[in-house]
Amino acid sequence: MYEALEVARDGLGPVFALGFGRFRPIVVASPEALREALVERRGAFFWRPEGDPVARLFRRSILVTDGEEHDHARGVMLPAFEPAKLRGQAAALLAIVEDELGRWPRDGRVEVVEAMRRIAWRGFERVFFGYDLGEAELRQTLPGLLAALRYIGPGMWVLRGRAGPPPRGVAPLENHVRRVAARRAGRGGEGEVLLDLLARVFDEERVRDHALTMLIAGHDTSTAQLSWALHLLARDRGWLARATREARSVAASDLAGARPEDLPVIDAVLKETLRLWPPIHVGGRRAGPGAAIAGYELPEGRRVMLSYFLVQRDGAIWRRAREFDPGRWLGGGSPPVPYSYLPFGGGPRNCIGAQFASLEGRLVLARVLQEFDIAATRRPLRGAMGATLEPRGGRLRVRRR
Does position 349 bind ligand HEM by CB under 6 A? yes
**Cβ contact 35:338 at 8 Å:** yes
**Rounded to whole angstroms, how far apart are CA atoms 103 and 401?**
15
Does position 33 bind ligand HEM by CB under 6 A? no
- The residues in 128-187 that bind ligand HEM, with binding defined as CB under 6 A, are 128
- DSSP string covering 224-244, please? HHHHHHHHHHHT-HHHHHHHH
> Taking the CA of residue 310 as centre, how many other CA atoms within 13 Å lie in the half-sphere pointing to its CB?
26
- The residues in 72-91 that bind ligand HEM, with binding defined as CB under 6 A, are 74
Q: What are phi and psi of 333, to 5 degrees?
A: -55, 140
172 versus 218: smaller Cβ distance to ligand HEM: 218
Q: Is the dihedral of CA 169, 197, 47, 119 positive or negative?
A: negative
Of the candidate residues 5, 86, 119, 351, the single one contacting ligand HEM (CB under 6 A): 351
283 versus 326: smaller Cβ distance to ligand HEM: 283
Indicate the burial class of 336 (C-beta count within 10 angstroms; 0-12, 13-18, 19 or more). middle
Query: Which one of 25-33, 84-92, 149-157, 272-280 is the stretch in contact with ligand HEM (CB under 6 A)?
Result: 272-280
CB within 8 Å of 280: residues ≥ 6 apart: 221, 308, 343, 345, 351, 388, 389
> Taking the CA of residue 80 as centre, how many other CA atoms within 13 Å lie in the half-sphere pointing to its CB?
26
Identify the DSSP state of 27: E
**Cβ contact 111:105 at 8 Å:** no
The residue count for binding ligand HEM (CB under 6 A) is 23
Strands 303-307 and 26-28, how do they pair? parallel
Instruction: Note the Cα 57 to chain centre separation in Å.
Output: 18
Of the candidate residues 147, 177, 181, 280, the single one contacting ligand HEM (CB under 6 A): 280
Does position 59 bind ligand HEM by CB under 6 A? no
Distances (CA, A) of 298 to 15, 24, 144, 211, 252: 12, 12, 38, 34, 53
Instruction: Note the Cα 303 to chain centre separation in Å.
Output: 21
Does position 391 bind ligand HEM by CB under 6 A? no
Query: Which one of 185-193, 210-218, 315-323, 378-386 is the stretch in contact with ligand HEM (CB under 6 A)?
Result: 210-218
Q: How many helices (H) and strands (E) does the chain have?
A: 16, 12
Of the candidate residues 163, 181, 229, 357, the single one contacting ligand HEM (CB under 6 A): 357
Of the candidate residues 30, 141, 221, 312, the single one contacting ligand HEM (CB under 6 A): 221
Does position 273 bind ligand HEM by CB under 6 A? no
Does position 341 bind ligand HEM by CB under 6 A? no
Does position 381 bind ligand HEM by CB under 6 A? no
Of the candidate residues 352, 369, 374, 376, the single one contacting ligand HEM (CB under 6 A): 352
Does position 356 bind ligand HEM by CB under 6 A? yes
Residue with smallest beta-carbon separation from ligand HEM? 353
Identify the DSSP state of 25: P
Of the candidate residues 33, 44, 55, 62, the single one contacting ligand HEM (CB under 6 A): 62
Of the candidate residues 123, 144, 166, 279, the single one contacting ligand HEM (CB under 6 A): 279
Report, in Å, the least distance between residue 356 CB and ligand HEM. 5
**Rounded to whole angstroms, how far apart are CA atoms 227 and 229?**
5
173 versus 217: smaller Cβ distance to ligand HEM: 217
User: Coil, strand, or helix at residue 39?
Assistant: helix
238 versus 340: smaller Cβ distance to ligand HEM: 340
In sequence order, the β-bridge partners of residue 389 are 385
166 versus 346: smaller Cβ distance to ligand HEM: 346
- The residues in 86-125 that bind ligand HEM, with binding defined as CB under 6 A, are none
**Rounded to whole angstroms, how far apart are CA atoms 270 and 77?**
25
Does position 335 bind ligand HEM by CB under 6 A? no
Query: Which one of 165-173, 213-221, 256-264, 293-301 is the stretch in contact with ligand HEM (CB under 6 A)?
Result: 213-221
Which residue ranges make up the site for ligand HEM (CB under 6 A)?
Answer: 62-63, 74, 128, 214, 217-218, 221-222, 225, 274, 279-280, 283, 343-345, 349, 351-353, 356-357
